[in-house]
């Protein structure tokens, strides 16, 4: 119940819908399972880029040989010199059509055009982009129950549902977030997601596309005595990449409590915030 009291009216509707599940148990289904729950102490990314794995193919990055340096804001609001997010087209793991797509996006970026970003466009970020939605400035909240885990990214209040200890549905309707099923392996939460549409990017920063064959495995674990959260993920999409590739994200708690509040996106954009971005528009009235 404490979680609900900390949320504003809009967000608490989600919490209320889970109360019947939470009544089964206040902790994860196994006493040995990690507890990621975060009522008012969410998890903040420690970086704005996917980290590379210890070995094997990694995420798309900028051209390290010929970087384009610009002045940008960092996570703390300071202006720093850093490489512009121009995708490295020499990445051998990219299918030819992906290289062509990224080449055009690079040219648009260098020409000063606005690059699509799910956070600015008020659309679901998909997976694994959800892990770094909002360029790493947004926190992730966990509502953890034995039957379901709900992840809420406070950027646009995007919500993912992870259904525990079940198999994938036989006929999945493709969606932005796909269908996520999870289970615990010792101290790790393992999440398997399939059933995506092809309307998101696996990485907004570089506009990295994918196909409906996308399959993502995520492994969540607590480190440093529960002070840090680490997520290793693997992306498998034979329609876009020559081989599966992996990345890593790390998170920390804020210095002070940060209750989850309500946030609108498309309505603010229509009022002038983020002018110039393409945002969802309802065709039919809700009531």
pLDDT at 149: 96
Task: Please check whether residue 161 lies inside any domain of the structure.
Answer: yes
261-282 pLDDT, tens digit each: 887 777 765 555 555 677 777 7
| pLDDT of 87 strictly over 80 | yes
Task: Please check whether residue 277 lies inside any domain of the structure.
Answer: no
Task: Please check whether residue 279 lies inside any domain of the structure.
Answer: no
Structural domains counted in the chain: 1
Return d(Cα 112, Cα 282) in angstroms, integer.
Answer: 30
234-251 pLDDT, tens digit each: 999 999 999 999 999 999
Task: Please check whether residue 123 lies inside any domain of the structure.
Answer: yes
Q: Which two tokens stand for residue 122?
A: 């008020």
Continuous segment of H or E residues that includes residue 16: helix 9-22
Task: Please check whether residue 283 lies inside any domain of the structure.
Answer: no
Q: What angle do CA 185, 50, 73 make, to 5 degrees?
A: 140
Return d(Cα 144, Cα 136) in angstroms, integer.
Answer: 22
Task: Please check whether residue 228 lies inside any domain of the structure.
Answer: yes
Task: Please check whether residue 176 lies inside any domain of the structure.
Answer: yes
Would you tell me how many other CB atoms lie within 10 Å of the CB of residue 96? 7
Structural domain boundaries, residue 98: 2-270
Cα dihedral 152→163→118→253 (10° resolution): 30
> Is the CB of residue 100 less than 8 Å from the CB of residue 192?
no
Q: 78 or 104, which is more confident?
A: 104
Task: Please check whether residue 249 lies inside any domain of the structure.
Answer: yes
Q: What is the pTM of this model?
A: 0.83
Q: Which two tokens stand for residue 119?
A: 């956070």
């Amino acid at each position: 119940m404490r979680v609900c009291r900390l949320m504003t009216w809009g967000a608490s509707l989600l919490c209320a819908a889970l109360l019947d599940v939470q009544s089964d148990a206040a902790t994860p289904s196994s006493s040995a399972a990690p507890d990621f729950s975060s009522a008012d102490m969410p998890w903040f990314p420690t970086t704005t880029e996917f980290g590379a794995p210890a070995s094997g193919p990694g995420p798309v990055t900028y051209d390290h040989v010929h970087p384009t340096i610009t002045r940008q804001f960092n996570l703390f609001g300071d202006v720093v010199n850093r490489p512009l997010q121009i995708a490295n087209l020499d990445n051998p793991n990219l299918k030819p059509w992906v290289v062509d797509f990224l080449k055009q996006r690079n040219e648009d970026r260098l020409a000063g055009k606005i690059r699509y970003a799910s956070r600015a466009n008020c659309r679901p970020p998909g997976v694994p982009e959800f892990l770094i939605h909002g360029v790493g400035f947004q926190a992730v909240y966990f509502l953890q129950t034995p039957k379901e885990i709900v992840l809420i990214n406070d950027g646009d209040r995007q919500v993912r549902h992870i259904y525990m200890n079940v198999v994938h549905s036989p006929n999945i309707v493709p969606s932005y977030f796909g269908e996520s099923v999870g289970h615990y392996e010792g101290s790790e939460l393992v999440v398997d997601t399939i059933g995506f549409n092809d309307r998101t990017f696996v990485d907004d920063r570089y506009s990295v596309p994918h196909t409906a064959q996308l399959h993502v495995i995520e492994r969540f674990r607590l480190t440093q005595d529960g002070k840090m959260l680490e997520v290793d993920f693997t992306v498998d999409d034979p329609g876009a990449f020559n081989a599966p590739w992996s990345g890593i994200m790390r998170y920390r708690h804020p210095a002070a409590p940060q209750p989850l509040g309500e946030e609108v996106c498309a309505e603010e954009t229509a009022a002038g915030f983020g002018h110039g971005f393409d945002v969802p528009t309802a065709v039919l009235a809700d009531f």
